[in-house]
């Protein structure tokens, strides 16, 4: 299982628009991807409700995990997405 830790780059955290973009990207991987705070239970990264319920704020770290062929590359692309300020790009 591949794993990455990343700090949320969006200025207002992982909420509506950034969460939706992340969930869409996680779905496109076709893998079982989870996201959570370090030391806490992870949620399905393809669930908008689960991702938004994390309440991850700007600068907070989250842990991504994925299993399957291409998991490392998929997580690298998801990390790159989360590191960006998706609100500013809107």
Burial of 5 (0-12, 13-18, 19+ CB in 10 A): exposed
Q: Name the active-site residue from 15, 64, 75, 82.
A: 15
* φ/ψ of residue 7, rounded to 5: -90, 135
Structure tokens at 83: 């590191």
Catalytic (active site) residue 58: no
- List the catalytic residues: 15
């Amino acid at each position: 299982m591949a794993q990455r830790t990343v700090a949320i780059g969006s200025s207002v955290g992982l909420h509506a628009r950034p969460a939706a973009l992340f969930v869409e990207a996680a779905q496109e991987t076709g893998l079982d991807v989870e996201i959570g705070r370090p030391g806490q239970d992870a949620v399905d990264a393809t669930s908008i409700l689960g991702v938004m319920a994390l309440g991850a704020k700007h600068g907070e770290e989250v842990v991504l995990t994925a299993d399957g062929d291409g998991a490392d590359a998929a997580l690298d692309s998801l990390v790159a997405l989360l590191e960006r300020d998706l609100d500013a790009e809107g």
